[in-house]
Amino acid sequence: MVSSFLFILGLFTVSHVHAASPVVQSKAGVYHGRYLSEFDQDLFLGVQYAPKPLRFAPSELARNTPGKHYNVTQYGTDCLGYGSDTNLLVREGWTKLGEDCLHLNIVKPRTNQTNLPILLWIYGGGWQQGATSDPRYNMSYLVQQSVLNKKPVIGISINYRMAAFGFLYSQEIASSGNQNLGLRDQRTAFKWVNHHIAAFGGDPTKVTIWGESAGAYSVGDHLNAYNGNAEGLFRAAILESGGAIGPPINGTEWYQAMYNNLTASVGCSGADDTLQCLRTVPYETIAPYGYQGLEWFHVIDGSLVPRYGEESLIRGKFAKIPIILGTNTDEGFGVNGVNTDAQAVEQILTSKRWNVNETEAKKLLELYPNDPTLGEPYGWGNRTWPENGLQWKRYQSIATDLTMYAPRRLLAESMSKYVEGVYSYRWDAPKFNSTPNTIGVNHFSEIPFVFGNTNQRITPLGNSSANIELSKRVMRMWTSFAYDLNPNGHGVADLPNWPQYSKEPSNFVFRADRSYVEDDTDRTEGVAFINTIIR
């Protein structure tokens, strides 16, 4: 795990706190931040939006303490650190993590403008790991580009509980109403921003929520939450490689087995109230089992997740707001070792990510033939990687469309029926990497570009002028969208216009050599069939 100290050292190499350090007085408290001279930005790090929550219970918005002073110059405790080695953390006594971790960070440009729009980041990591202190999510470069484009925004990133601590589920959890705690943490953070960001110069009516992977799925859940009631907490959204459908939100038997294993592992299986017993187990005892070897996802709870995501989209029960959404060309959600039709069907049926029956699985094989020229990674012709499986490219295509591509198209189609300002993309950079271990444009490929961190120890942009220029362009598009709901206000002369999806079902294709617009017609029949499966 990257410590807060190393993170700050990596980001702010020569900066220091001096007399210009910012102070903000608000109803929440008096916040003493730090000034980042390299970017001319004020930072408020580790701002607590909720006190330490009761384990396996919802968080509560931090109370107002208008006269209390807070030093917010360092990142707060991670809920679960980026790249954390759980064995190492066990040996260190889990001192790098904690349950008092519900903090957010604010990056504000020094500008004469007030009422700045907000771009609020929700990290991914499968809802199993992640942290705002991950240096790949440094928002200073992004905010800097917004200023250079004369459309300044405030960047905010939020921590939330993950793995069992944020998404534990069982009959016991359901009966106590404690589902989807990580998502509820995010909603609590939204409310803190709504109540207090004006004191920092932000406009609470102009919040764009933004996430990638599990962060984008989180955004999709907030679109569907409470039958589409955004509660005035956000006006727009950006979803990178994730959407409003899946991953699994049923599977009660699966979750119950994991819950039972957890209680047995920490000595609570014989308790009269196993949930209460789990709350009393010391953190260093339960943490290894809460984070290791288990995958906890969101579930239907009747309110924040009211129903299957696809049902919400079909019924129009979602927040109708402008969005940017997209996927990478070769997301790569298949598995190795698929050699036959029977194995492909077996993998589709046994995956916990999809709610697909055998008839539907066999239909998918018809719609996605075992033709390597059609499989993923796309654009490689007849080339195959038999060591990954004789039907690896076929299964990769099916898995990616089930997980990412088809849900992206359904959300774009559904949202564009109600609002303008729907912009869809396909990320296609870098392209055709011939390195055997880096095949295609995979999941997470866009992250170095959208954050633009040029520290070569952290991101792979390197010295490539084409990569750096593409990074600046996409950062300006994202911040321009947050500023006035139009990604075309980027100020770059040589880019094609990005059309609204409602007027022209299309994708803006991001490439380092030449970006362009394409019709959104790839794998039409297969994607249409996938979007009839309720999941």
pLDDT of residue 95: 52
352 band by pLDDT with thresholds 50, 70 and 90? confident
Of the ranges 259-268, 409-418, 434-443, 487-496, which one carries the lowest mean pLDDT score? 434-443
Q: Among positive and negative, which fits the CA dihedral 29, 32, 35, 39?
A: negative
Q: Is the pLDDT of residue 17 over 90?
A: no
Residues of the chain with CATH 3.40.50.1820: 4-73+100-320, 328-530
Q: CA dihedral defined by 453, 34, 162, 262, rounded to 10 degrees?
A: 120
**CA nearest neighbour of 427 among 347, 489, 507:** 507
Distances (CA, A) of 12 to 35, 154, 472, 475: 10, 18, 20, 20
Of the ranges 37-41, 454-458, 479-483, 487-491, which one carries the lowest mean pLDDT score? 454-458
4 band by pLDDT with thresholds 50, 70 and 90? very low
**What one-character DSSP code corresponds to residue 150?**
T
Of the ranges 34-43, 287-296, 331-340, which one carries the lowest mean pLDDT score? 287-296
Cα–Cα distance for residue pair 375/196, rounded to 1 Å = 49
Phi, psi dihedrals of residue 109, rounded to the nearest 5°: -75, 145
Q: What H or E segment, with its residue span, contains residue 524?
A: helix 524-530
535 band by pLDDT with thresholds 50, 70 and 90? confident
pLDDT of residue 438: 66
**Average pLDDT of span 10-23:** 57
Q: Is the pLDDT of residue 13 over 70?
A: no
**CA nearest neighbour of 132 among 77, 181, 65, 196:** 77
pLDDT of residue 85: 55
Q: Which residues contact 314 (CB under 8 A, 6 or more apart)?
A: 414
What percentage of the chain has pLDDT greater than the value 90? 80
* DSSP one-letter string for 88-142: HHHHTTTTTB-S---EEEEEEE--S--SEEEEEEE--STTTSB-TT-GGG--HHH
Which of 59, 213, 480, 506 is catalytic? The answer is: 213
pLDDT tens digits, residue range 44-85? Answer: 999 999 999 999 999 999 999 999 999 999 999 999 754 455
pLDDT of residue 210: 99
pLDDT tens digits, residue range 305-348? Answer: 999 999 999 999 999 999 999 999 999 999 999 999 999 999 99
pLDDT of residue 87: 56
Which of 103, 298, 443, 490 is catalytic? The answer is: 443
Cα–Cα distance for residue pair 518/75, rounded to 1 Å = 41
430 band by pLDDT with thresholds 50, 70 and 90? confident
Structure tokens given for 370: 């075992």
Q: Name the CATH code of domain 4-73+100-320 (choices 3.10.20.30, 3.40.50.1820, 2.20.140.10, 1.10.3720.10).
A: 3.40.50.1820
**Average pLDDT of span 469-496:** 96
Cα–Cα distance for residue pair 92/284, rounded to 1 Å = 10
pLDDT of residue 497: 97
Report the 10 Å Cβ neighbour count for 260: 15
Cα–Cα distance for residue pair 143/210, rounded to 1 Å = 14
Structure tokens given for 469: 């220029």
Give Rg (Cα) of the chain: 23
16 is an active site residue: no
Residue with tokens 């002028």, as numbered in its chain:
465
443 is an active site residue: yes
pLDDT of residue 454: 83
**Average pLDDT of span 187-210:** 98
pLDDT of residue 245: 93
What percentage of the chain has pLDDT greater than the value 70? 91
Cα–Cα distance for residue pair 316/311, rounded to 1 Å = 8
Contact 94, 81 (CB under 8 A): no
pLDDT of residue 278: 98
482 band by pLDDT with thresholds 50, 70 and 90? very high
Question: 167 by DSSP, 3-state: which?
Answer: helix
Cα–Cα distance for residue pair 89/438, rounded to 1 Å = 29
Which of 240, 331, 376, 446 is catalytic? The answer is: 331
Q: How many residues does the chain have?
A: 535
First to last CA, the chain: 34
Cα–Cα distance for residue pair 74/28, rounded to 1 Å = 18
User: What pTM was computed for the model?
Assistant: 0.94
174 band by pLDDT with thresholds 50, 70 and 90? very high
pLDDT of residue 9: 34
Q: What's the mean per-residue pLDDT of the chain?
A: 91
Looking at CATH, the fold of the domain delimited by 328-530 is given as Rossmann fold (3.40.50)
β 103-109/41-48 pair status: antiparallel
Distances (CA, A) of 127 to 119, 166, 238, 290, 296: 21, 8, 18, 12, 7
**What one-character DSSP code corresponds to residue 357?**
-
